[in-house]
Amino acid sequence: MHSALEPMHIPDGFLSSAVALLGWGLAIILLGAALRQTRRQLGERQVPVMGVLAAFIFAAQAVNFPVAAGTSGHLIGAALAAIALGPWAAVLVMTAVVAVQALLFQDGGLIVMGWNLVNMAGLAVLGGYASYRGVLRLVGGHRGGRLAAAFAAAWVSVEVGAVATAVELAASGTTTLSFGLPAMASVHALIGLGEGVITVGALALLLTARPEILREAETSSGQGAAHLAIGGLLLALVVALAAPWGSTSPDGLNAVAEALEFSHQARSLGSGLFPGYQFPGLDHPAAATLVAVGLGTLIVFSVAVLAGRGLRPRTAK
């Protein structure tokens, strides 16, 4: 058990100002496209699903699992969100998660948040979804085929984000591509296996308990939607209980930063309300982590649901 969760996303200081600015430009374009597409496509049943997935992904990202050679990984969740919601709503779910982590928990830099959004809410979502659809066409849409496609999509989503990060670090002069790319790709290839297992488990649960979520033609409303939201949020809070007992080893990016000796470049521009995923004023580290991650889960759920309600087409309202 550890006293505070290590930052999981690119911190300020790892990327140059010019590269960071480019990232914000691409992130704005990505979010603009996602907002337009989601406003056209979002169904009523998807609003509670957005909240549930955002909450689950936030909570699961706070639980690091061990990987080889003293390295840990954590769920990204981009492929899972894309499979359950489609790519554009998934972009908004991941945006809610990344933004809350940066603004409230000091996880991921504010200047470089554009690239954290592009990597996790953009490339990981779109790459994972494209892989899922491609594999599904090859193996068929039966249960086993869906689970196999989900595993492949999850692995690809992690690897795409890792490769993109390596390119961004090299473009910033933080490390060279010849060192950074193999290091990021290899460690995240292992992390992607864990991502695949978690994604398959979550998708298997959806296929068993709520298969209609994965059918675009069906909707759920009223009492059914309320039950889904409450049950899913409770599940996310249960996952959050594991946060203080995750692996204490550095995650993929931090492990590479230490190995290639640029970890000292990390900077923090703000403290956030819950820095290090710790609730201020609580002396017991595990309790402080539990309260902070639990509150974050509720906040992310609310942000995603409010965004979904605001984006539903007027005819759906």
Is the confidence at residue 213, as pLDDT, over 70?
Answer: no
Measured between alpha carbons, how far apart are the two ends of the chain, in Å?
A: 46
Helix residue ranges, H only, 106-176:
113-116, 124-139, 143-171
22-69, pLDDT tens digit by residue? 999 999 999 999 999 998 888 777 888 899 999 999 999 999 999 877
Tell me, rounded to whole angstroms, the distance of Cα 240 from its chain centroid: 15
Which residue reads 């230490």 in tokens? 258
Nearest to 166 by CA among 99, 244, 252, 87: 252
Give the per-residue pLDDT at 222. Answer: 44
Tell me the residue type at 242: A
Among the residue ranges 140-144, 151-155, 206-210, the one predicted with the least confidence is: 206-210
Which residue reads 């309790």 in tokens? 287
Give the list of residues 6+ apart from residue 260 with CB closer than 8 angstroms, or none. Answer: 175, 179, 180, 183
Among the residue ranges 139-143, 223-227, 272-276, 310-314, the one predicted with the least confidence is: 223-227
Establish how many alpha carbons lie within 13 A of residue 105's alpha carbon, considering only the half-sphere containing its beta carbon.
31
For residue 243, the 8-state DSSP code is G
CATH number of this structure's domain 17-311: 1.10.1760.20
Give the per-residue pLDDT at 113. Answer: 96
Give the total residue count for the chain: 317
**Domain positions in the chain:** 17-311
- Tell me the mean pLDDT in the region 284-309: 94
116-142, pLDDT tens digit by residue? 999 999 999 999 999 999 999 999 888
171-203, pLDDT tens digit by residue? 999 999 999 999 999 999 999 999 999 999 999
Is the confidence at residue 316, as pLDDT, over 70?
Answer: no
Give the per-residue pLDDT at 227. Answer: 73
3-state secondary structure of 44: coil
Neighbours of 242 (CB within 10 A): 16
Give the per-residue pLDDT at 220. Answer: 42
Is the confidence at residue 217, as pLDDT, over 60?
Answer: no
Is the confidence at residue 1, as pLDDT, over 80?
Answer: no
Is the confidence at residue 19, as pLDDT, over 80?
Answer: yes
Give the list of residues 6+ apart from residue 32 with CB closer than 8 angstroms, or none. Answer: none
Neighbours of 215 (CB within 10 A): 9
Angstrom distances, CA of residue 14 to CA of 18, 95, 110, 184, 276:
12, 21, 12, 14, 19
pTM: 0.92
pLDDT tier at 210, thresholds 50, 70, 90: confident
pLDDT tier at 212, thresholds 50, 70, 90: low
Is the confidence at residue 144, as pLDDT, over 80?
Answer: yes
Between CA 124 and CA 149 the distance in angstroms is 15
Give the per-residue pLDDT at 276. Answer: 85
pLDDT tier at 4, thresholds 50, 70, 90: low
218-270, pLDDT tens digit by residue? 344 445 566 778 888 999 999 999 988 888 888 999 999 999 999 999 987 76
72-87, pLDDT tens digit by residue? 999 999 999 999 999 9
Instruction: Decide which of 207 and 112 is more confident.
Output: 112
Q: What residues does 66 pair with on adjacent strands?
A: 72
